[in-house]
Structures are given as structure tokens and as C-alpha cells.
Copies of this chain bind each other. A is one copy, B any other.
Amino acid sequence: MAKDVKEILKNNSLSITGSREKILGLFLEQPGALAHGDIEKRAGEKFDRVTVYRTLQTFVEKGIIHTIPTADNSIRYALCKDDCKEGHHHDHHVHFVCTQCNITYCLDDVVTPELKLPKGYISTHIEVVAEGICKNCK
């Protein structure tokens, strides 16, 4: 897994540093999304808060992770699929927040539905976040 981390960083022309390895590793070793707080708790003992902010920002810009808006106003981050490139994301899938275990899932196979918007509205991007009970908690 540590090898994968370095490869992903290289593929995105990012220099290999401790914080990037650690934080990217956190995403790879578990399925759900992570809130900034989670990351800070699990990586922030080794790294400065500012470094965590800047690392996440870099990963988002490079298309390595994407953000997920949630109702409680705490941004979550999750790994992108390979087709996301620098400055251009393609994460057109639905997200699911379990109200029991509080895990946020990327439902990669559930495509964002089409919407019939009123006349004059042109949408470039649609975010869908479902809330409920996940397969492990029911």
C-alpha cells in the first residue's frame, strides 16, 4: 500500500513528503470519506494543522480526492476514481451518509439523476447526498 501511495503522488507530479504519504495512506486504507477533523486527529499529531489544510487542498486540485457537501456543514473528502485529472473532476455519483455509524460512502455505481429544471436554469453540476442507514448498520 505504501508503494501505491508513492505512485499516485508521482503520477500527479507531486513531491513525496511525509504528510502527503500519511494523509493519502489514510484514504487508501479505509472505504469511507474523511472529514477534515478525522484527518487532523489521525495525522495531525505528526503534522501541523496548516500542513493538513494545504495537503488536502493540493489533493483536491490534482483530482486525487473530491469534496462531499453534507447537511451538517462539515466537508468530507474521498478518493477520486482514476479519470479525475488536475482541475477537472468527474465524480458524478451519489453520496450516502449513514446516520448510525456516520460513515460517508461514495456510491460509485449510482449515477446522479437527470433533472428537469425550470426554463432558463442551466446546471453544470449536480450534487446528491442521501441520508439513511447503510448496509452494515441495518
Contacts and interface: CB of A to CB of B under 8 A. Distances in A.
Contact of A120 (B74, B117, B138): B138
Given A71-B69, A129-B127, A130-B126, A116 B110 contact: yes
A69 B122 contact: no
Contacts of A107: 117-118, 121
Interface string A123-135: 1111111111111
A41 interface: no
Interface range for A: 35 or more
A12 interface: no
Contacts of A45: none
A17 interface: no
A58 to B, nearest CB: 18
A132 B128 contact: no
A31 interface: no
Contacts of A135: 118-121
A34 to B, nearest CB: 15
B120 A134 contact: yes
Contacts of A116: 110
A46 B75 CA distance: 32
A15 to B, nearest CB: 28
A67 interface: yes
Nearest to A132: B123
